[in-house]
Structure 1
């Protein structure tokens, strides 16, 4: 009697097709998701290109101006530029000898300490996982965004004190959170080898800008960066001043800064990568 199907022990199925012959089709169908994951992994572990990355760092100056302007107006302390806070701490320590003690001692002191701790942690995070790796930059700026969001929620959901010298947790907690994340921008400038664009220092930029022997040259990329940095910080400072005097208050400045940081996260996700050895 003639047997239809295969003779290798596989079970016969209609139309003379064995179960084994269907397996490659199933495997091919499941390879597509793995390729998507593989491409995503390759993208996230790639190092971002430095080309034009200074544009993102310059945008950080707007955030710095926005936050420092609003925080000094409302809280009486900086959250990014720690030179001013160091002077305020010095004046506060002097007030211990000649009372009354200045409330800026506590506010500026908290901001300065949190900035230093943040610098310690952000720098080690970047160094441990590779400074320019895409996912590292995305996580860094996502963390900065979340810290600002947390500060914005505290300010939005609590009633502000009418006393400008108030040093309760509703002031110190958001101040500490924003100061902690501010150093992430400076650490990124080091990671991308744009050491001058820390977004927390202007004095050295002013000096380097106006002492540049090619100050009036038609093409001078360094001059352009140095000129753009204080200009953008000034724009942010004006916005921060407007927010702090408006009905939105410092909460408006914080939510705006968080939005800008979130945009930077998306920007790093789509930023071009450095060419790999295979592509070269």
Structure 2
């Protein structure tokens, strides 16, 4: 006499249920979801941080060539303004009253940098590591670089200073170009800081050099991210300044700033290739 074995309905899914599971398509994030996603930072941002350092050199070269002002390195501008005030009380040499043109340019750059970096508050509200903010920030920088190119072109000045006492970009349009690119550096500084770049803000490399030469693996004969990524960032600034000056000599200040805007747009697109932040699986 044969026996019929009982069937466990819980452990043995019906053919229809298994079919429905296998037929379920994999979910692909929509464009909106891609924008709203958090990027994998700082884990996947090393290359784009090095690229940002390249943009620092590319941006700083036109301002220094025009008026000996570093549009991103604001320590020198603050010190210059202090010296400008001290000269009014100097017992040695000729006293100067009021801000001279180089001092006005330093002040313009500093104030514009402050305005640019203050946009980081908007980024904090949106999400400092959210792709929406990173794309928006880079897009604003590209537009500011385009505006700086137009302002420099219509300023009617060469964009090349003959001496520290005779700077270029002295008229309103030239000062506007300086203000725009200084603001781009302010935005880049807060983005680099919030993303957690190995180069800190990607704008000023003083802290980066300190960290490089105090790295315990400085002389290690192997790949060392803490050292090698930072060194790459330093050389990227150097290379960016070199490229910018070469473009400026060949095509003028407007061309150099126009190329800068193009490189900023590359950064806009690049943010979409940074992986999303991994989602941790819920514990059972």
- TM-score bracket for this pair, using the shorter chain length: 0.7 to 0.9
Alignment of 1:74-223 (within 5 A): 74-97=66-89, 98-99=95-96, 102-121=100-119, 123-160=120-157, 164=167, 167-194=170-197, 196-217=199-220, 218-223=222-227
Q: Does 1:66 align with 2:70?
A: no
Q: Aligned pair in 2 of structure 1 residues 224, 94: CA closer, same or farther (>3 Å)?
A: same
Deviation at 1:137, TM superposition (A): 0.7
* Structure 1 SS opposite 2:182: helix
Q: CA RMSD in A?
A: 2.4
- The Cα shift of 1:103 comes to 1.8
Task: Compare 135-144 and 196-205 and name the one that shifted more.
Answer: 196-205
TM-score by length of 1: 0.79
Structure 2 CA distance, aligned partners of 1:210 and 1:275? 33
Report if the CA contact (8 A) 2:215-2:226 is conserved.
Answer: no
Change (3 A) 1:43 1:85: same
Quote the offset at 1:278 in angstroms: 6.5
Partner of 2:40: 49
User: What is the TM-score normalised by the length of structure 2?
Assistant: 0.78
Worse-superposed segment, 78-87 or 142-151: 78-87
- How many positions carry a matched residue from both structures? 243
Note the alpha carbon deviations across 1:148-168, whole angstroms, 9 max, x for none: 111111112341168626622
Alignment of 1:16-31 (within 5 A): none
**Native 8 Å contact 1:46 1:274 kept in 2:** yes
* 1:216-242 Cα shifts (integer Å, max 9, x gaps): 221321101221121111111212332
Q: C-alpha distance in 1, partners of 2:106/2:279?
A: 45
Task: Check conservation: 1:71, 1:250, Cα contact below 8 A.
Answer: no
Distance 1:228 1:118 in 2: 26
User: What is the distance in 2 between the residues matched to 1:269 and 1:279?
Assistant: 26
SS in structure 2 opposite 1:79?
A: coil
Match of 1:274 among 270, 273, 277: 277
Per-residue CA deviation, residues 236-258 of structure 1 (Å, 9 max, x unaligned), is: 121233234x1422222211211
Q: Which is worse superposed, 187-196 or 46-55?
A: 187-196
SS in 2 for 1:65: helix
Gaps of 5+ in 1: 1-34
